Amino acid sequence: MTMRPKRMAKTFMISPSTLRNYEAKGLIPPAERSANGYRMYTDLHAAYLECIQAMAPSFGMEVTTKVLHGLRHDMSYDALWAVRKKEVALYEEKVKLAQIIEDIRQVMKENNSPGAMERFAIHEVSEMTKISKSTIRYWEQAGYVKADRDPENRYRYYSRAHLLKIRLIHVLQNSVYSEDTVKLKQSIAAAEHTDLQSIMRLAEQIRSYQNKGIESQMCGISSLWKLIQLLKAPI
């Protein structure tokens, strides 16, 4: 089956210019040409486009581009390992989030204990969270977290609850940019660090987002595998 650019673009609900852009960037093979010189797209092009649309939401366009370039240069194993790296990254973020949820529960239990009043300087927060001081300061400027200030010297200080918010932001940092991640970060910014119930609800929302993420990754991998099998098929 062959299609003209306008029809192929309509099938995948993209513009003809986007289709040409994919071709120019090597995400799909060059279009075939009809006898009169018109571009013609085939089932193979459709499989590439399906793969792009299935992979981009969960793996991002950078990884998707790397994967498709790998396929087009007979480097399918490199493409598969690039995908696996993103799968592992999502699992690692899931593990981090599970620990944060446990820590939120622990802080809630100890909320009235002397340890709950413990304060930390920014360098201590950086050491405990493995997040650079410049990143923490940037997040404060962006409004994601607001440190308390010592009334005498005006130095920043952070509570254990601050650390929980900072760690939640960090869990989202490697996520593919989307409307969902923007909303989650906005919700983290709006939550008071003293409102542990709200912080817990946010953690649960991030867990739901991660669960959707693994489903989306499976969808992308399924389309990728179909494309790989199509490329292996005898012409």
Q: What is the mean pLDDT of residues 141-158?
A: 88
If asked whether residues 140 and 121 sit together in one domain, one would say yes
If asked whether residues 79 and 96 sit together in one domain, one would say no
If asked whether residues 53 and 91 sit together in one domain, one would say no
If asked whether residues 48 and 155 sit together in one domain, one would say no
If asked whether residues 155 and 127 sit together in one domain, one would say yes
If asked whether residues 226 and 188 sit together in one domain, one would say no
pLDDT band for position 2 (50/70/90)?
confident
Task: Report how far residue 216's alpha carbon sits from residue 13's, in angstroms, rounded to the nearest whole number.
Answer: 19
Domain count, the chain: 2
For the segment 23-78, what is each residue's pLDDT rounded down to a tens digit? 999 999 999 888 888 889 999 999 999 999 999 999 999 999 999 999 988 888 98
pTM across the whole model: 0.88
For the segment 162-189, what is each residue's pLDDT rounded down to a tens digit? 999 999 999 999 899 999 999 999 999 9
If asked whether residues 9 and 57 sit together in one domain, one would say yes
Task: Report how far residue 24's alpha carbon sits from residue 90's, in angstroms, rounded to the nearest whole number.
Answer: 31
pLDDT of 234 above 80: no
pLDDT band for position 208 (50/70/90)?
very high
If asked whether residues 65 and 178 sit together in one domain, one would say no
If asked whether residues 176 and 209 sit together in one domain, one would say yes
If asked whether residues 52 and 166 sit together in one domain, one would say no
What is the residue range of 109's domain? 85-215
If asked whether residues 60 and 126 sit together in one domain, one would say no
If asked whether residues 22 and 48 sit together in one domain, one would say yes
Average pLDDT, the chain: 92
Task: Supply the CATH number for residue 56's domain.
Answer: 1.10.1660.10
